[in-house]
Structure 1
Amino acid sequence: MRIYITAFLLFSLLVIAFIFGSQNEQTLTLNYLIARTELSVAAAVSLFTTLGFLLGLLFCLLWKFVRMIKPKKSSSKESV
């Protein structure tokens, strides 16, 4: 049940982001360190929403991988 709620919330947020972007047809200028580009607001919202989703997914997978590999501490202390 939890996966369905998460998927529904994710889908809802993506729909809201894309609706917001499609309603704004203005262009904006993005200045990078070495370049400059002009994008529509819809393209910028889509780009940064996708980028944020991928970074969040990467972080979650990395966190799960580290927790899986991390050695578990034993609950009993060894005698010296």
Structure 2
Amino acid sequence: MKLYITIFVMVLLLLIAFAFGSQNDQLITLNYLVAKTTMPVAMAVSIFTGLGFILGLVFMLLINLLKPLKRKQNKG
């Protein structure tokens, strides 16, 4: 049940971020090390929010997968 609540809250925050981004149609310029690109604020917010969400899920899954291994090491 806790997992469902967490996923619901995360999806809700993601939707709020997308709604915020859709209200901002101004263009911004992103400077990379070797390139530069211009995109709407909505696209930048969506990309970076989505990347943060995915990275958070990956790290959460890694931590949860490593917990049983640590328990086995502590027992043995």
Using the size of structure 2 for normalisation, the TM-score is 0.82
Which fold has the larger relative contact order, with Cα–Cα distance below 8 Å and residues 6 or more apart in sequence? 2
> Following TM superposition, by how much is the alpha carbon of 1:66 offset from its aligned partner in structure 2, in angstroms?
2.4
Q: 1:57 to 1:7 in 2, by over 3 A?
A: closer
Identical columns (%) = 53
The answer for the alignment partner of 1:37 in structure 2 is: 37
Runs of 4+ in 1 over 3 A off after TM superposition: none
Q: Which runs of 5+ in 2 are unaligned?
A: none
> Following TM superposition, by how much is the alpha carbon of 1:67 offset from its aligned partner in structure 2, in angstroms?
2.2
CA RMSD across the alignment: 1.8
The answer for the alignment partner of 1:9 in structure 2 is: 9
The answer for the alignment partner of 1:74 in structure 2 is: 75
- In structure 1, what is the Cα distance between the partners aligned to 2:58 and 2:3? 18
Q: Which runs of 5+ in 1 are unaligned?
A: 76-80
Which structure shows the bigger proportion of residues in helix conformation?
2
> Following TM superposition, by how much is the alpha carbon of 1:43 offset from its aligned partner in structure 2, in angstroms?
0.4
* Higher Cα radius of gyration: 1
Using the size of structure 1 for normalisation, the TM-score is 0.79
